Amino acid sequence: MFCKNCGKEIADGSKFCTQCGYRLDVTPDVPGVPAEQPAAPIAPVAEQPVVQEVPVTPVAPVAEQPVVQEAPVTPVAPMAEQSVVQEVPVTPVAPVAEQPVVQEAPVTPVAPVAEQPVVQEVPVTPVAPVQQPVAQAAPVPPVAPVPAAPVAQEKPKKKKTGKIVLAIVGAVVIAVALLIVFNLSALANFAKKTFSSPDKYYQWVEMQNVKDASGLVSNVYGDAHDQLKNMFNMSSSGEIKFELGEAGQEMLSMSGFAGVDTSWFKDATIKFDSSLKDKAVQANMAFLLGKDQLASIDVIEDMKDGLAIYMAIPEISKTYLGVDMEEMSGMDMDVMTQYYEFIELIVGIIPNDAQVEKLINKYSEIALGCIDDVKMKEGRSLRAEGITEKCTELTVIIDADTLQKIAEAVIEELIKDKEVEKIIYKVCEGLAESDFEDLGMEFDMDAEEVYESFLEGLEYAADSTDEIGDYEFEFEMEVYVDGKGNIRGRSFTIGDEWDTVEFSVIAPHKGKNFGYKASIIYDGEEVAIAGTGKDSGKKISGEFAIQYNGASICDIIATDFNIDEIKKGYLSGNFVIKPSSGINRVIGMSSASSMLAELEVEIDCKTSKKSGECVISVRTGEDEWGTLSVKTSQGSGKKVSIPSGKKLIMVEDEDSIEDYWDTIDWDKFLDKLDETDLPSEFVDMIEEFAEMDIDDLVSGMSFGGYEKIYDDYYDDFDIEW
């Protein structure tokens, strides 16, 4: 037999389909009634109302239609048995094959839904013939199968929708992340201010300021440390140039040079280049008038064995004139050698810049942790030069008891600080191993004993801290903090009721714009710097004025002042300094004040660890007075060649001076000067010097040491004491 629901062949007499779980009613064999053929399932459609069959007249047998086999489907839970509609008995007829039913197309299993009533066929029994025929019900036309909507068509829509949702979520996450990053300081400040006490909040804010200061100190210290460390293996070069404008030339001709033509002087330059390596130093200096080099001088110091100095003027002679300073002066040059060795030792044993910064931050934090008398007021308006910003005002009070706590806490930490202990041991052991007798320095010390003495001193200081609390001392300071934890201002007063000094520095911000005022008030007199500008985060620009009792006496216009570099100790930016209109109120009306009214000094500088450049220009209105520019750069030392052989004449007596004089080519040098802008008057003076007799030059020179030189000097004047 076959399942009526799915068409699967099953064992005869089964009550349930083993394939789909459909409940079956086994119809007994009825004579004359053929066995029921499996019906082909039809596509699911809305259930139509069932019309009850009525007896019909016998009809000819209908050929059996082929059965469409249903593809296997996933078994579903057995459905509840539905109510059965009873058929009306009919007269016996010839066997009629059951109409084929269109098989239902296979569908993907879906979640169970409310079941629709299914018409169940019941067995038919033979009945007596009926006298009057009953009209047969109109046949119900077969319903065309409705294809199930393919799930695959919905998936792309779901995927596309999912991608859009993911994109939106990702964009929101990125936006929130960026918002957090760019406002991280504001969030940190809000959390610290909200969930901390006023004193803890002040300590946190002030510590950020201390870190900036310690970074500046350690960087400056580190640069100095590196210069000392590399002073025996370094080089430097640069130039100093002075350019005179028309106004400067007029002033030069009027001041002491009456009747002398100075129009030739427009600019002069001094170039220098030096190098130190392997205890030898070479320094070269050149003098230029315009683009023409007039002369240069090359000096070499050799400190390998004593101290010898060699000098040459390449424009007049390629030969070096050397002097043995140890022999000439009678000095023991071991002192100089030990001096350099002492510097090398000190550089190697003192703390480095990282240690200095770490110690500053550590002990500053300890000291700030002892300040606990702080009051906080939010929403305070900080105003300077028309710019207002809402800030949190912190009133900090430090009295004698607070100072005592700070001293005790710092001393306690110093006693157990292993980093300080290492530094002391390193310095003491380094000095103990040195030998600087010629410098008059002897360091006969034991590092352990020195450290024990250090601890004893700290313990004595700890016992004396009670004396600090006996003083009548109180210091009050107002600190103004913005929404990101930046200190925008502070003010405090020191002194007593008879003699006080008030300090105030405030810088409220509004977006990128800011106002600034720093003032000192003493005995009723105020000196201040005030103005407004723009802060881009790394650079500031603005116009400021130096004021005296409210009257501006000097204006300062700053452009691209790099505040990041100034924290490292390097000055970069452009500054124009000029008198203010209010200067007349300070110095009074005079010819000097009228001259100063239009005077401007411009400073443009850019410095770093390895190089620097600064240009200073002076002008009055449109008239240029002059410009002074300085450029420098540093690098590693270069090897210095010590002159010898025919390129060197050592000064031993008068004859050696004459020998050097003979190497000078004066004619070539004078011809070169004639091609420059140097006035003929100066060339004539040099020519007269070149024509002097060498004997006249060396007469009176002494080579017997300083004592003989002094004796000859005093003998010439015949001085009696």
Let me know if residue 107 belongs to a domain. Answer: yes
Domain boundary among 192, 211, 244: 192
The yes-or-no verdict on residue 547 having pLDDT over 80 is yes
Phi/psi of residue 370, nearest 5 degrees: -90, -10
pLDDT band, residue 706 (cuts 50/70/90) = very low
pLDDT at residue 406 is higher than 90: yes
Query: 47 and 169: one domain?
Result: no
Is residue 26 domain-shared with residue 123, that is, in the same domain? yes
The β-bridge partners of 523 are: none
Query: At 560, is the secondary structure helix, strand, or coil?
Result: strand
Looking at the structure, tell me whether residues 111 and 182 fall in a common domain: no
pLDDT of residue 185: 77
Residues 106 and 172 in one domain: no
Instruction: Find the range with the poorest average confidence among 343-347, 369-373, 433-437, 482-486.
Output: 433-437
Structural domain ending residue among the three candidates 110, 127, 144: 127
pLDDT of residue 90: 41
What the block records as the tokens of 443 is: 């360091």
Show the tokens assigned to 395: 């009133």
Same domain, 166 and 69: no
User: What is the structure's pLDDT at 63?
Assistant: 38
Between CA 559 and CA 360 the distance in angstroms is 32
Residue 94 confidence (pLDDT): 42
Letter for the amino acid at 669?
F
pLDDT in tens, 673-686: 998 888 888 888 88
Question: How much is the pLDDT for 593?
Answer: 56
Instruction: Examine residue 293 and state whether it is found in any structural domain, yes or no.
Output: no
SS3 (DSSP) at 284: strand
Residue 189: strand, helix, or coil: helix
Residues 12 and 111 in one domain: yes
Domain interval for residue 166? 159-192
CA distance 552 to 66: 113
User: What DSSP state is assigned to residue 646?
Assistant: G
Nearest to residue 617, comparing CAs of 630, 633, 608, 634? 630
Residues 19 and 94 in one domain: yes
Strands 320-324 and 648-650: parallel
Residue 579 forms part of a structural domain: no
Indicate if the pLDDT at residue 552 is higher than 60: yes
Q: How many CB atoms lie within 10 A of CB 427?
A: 19
What is the number of structural domains in the chain?
3
Co-location of 120 and 2 in the same domain: yes
Q: By C-alpha distance, which of 491, 483, 484, 478 is closest to 517?
A: 491
Is 103 in the same domain as 13?
yes
Whether residue 9 is contained in a domain is answered as yes
Cα dist. 530→482, 542, 578, 707 in Å? 20, 10, 15, 61
* Tokens 């000064």 -> residue: 651
Tell whether 53 is covered by a domain: yes
Whole-number mean pLDDT of the chain? Answer: 77
Decide if pLDDT at 130 tops 80.
Answer: no
Closest of 101, 91, 162, 99 to residue 124, by C-alpha:
91
- Residue 283 — very low, low, confident or very high, per pLDDT cuts 50/70/90? very high
The answer to the question of residue 187 being in a domain is yes
pLDDT of 632 above 60: yes
Confidence category of residue 295, pLDDT binned at 50, 70, 90: very high
pLDDT bin (cut points 50, 70, 90) of residue 496 is confident
Residue 594, pLDDT score: 61
| pLDDT tens profile 18-70 | 777 777 765 444 444 444 444 444 444 444 444 344 444 443 443 334 333 44
User: Residues 40, 105: one domain?
Assistant: yes
Q: b vs e for 583-600, b when ≥16 Cβ sit within 10 Å of the residue's Cβ?
A: bbbbeeeeeeeeebeeeb
Residue 398 lies in a domain: no
Q: Please indicate, yes or no, whether residues 178 and 121 belong to a single structural domain of this protein.
A: no
Residue 438 domain flag: no
The answer to whether residues 74 and 174 belong to one domain is no
C-alpha to C-alpha distances, 146 to 6, 41, 52, nearest whole angstrom? 18, 12, 25
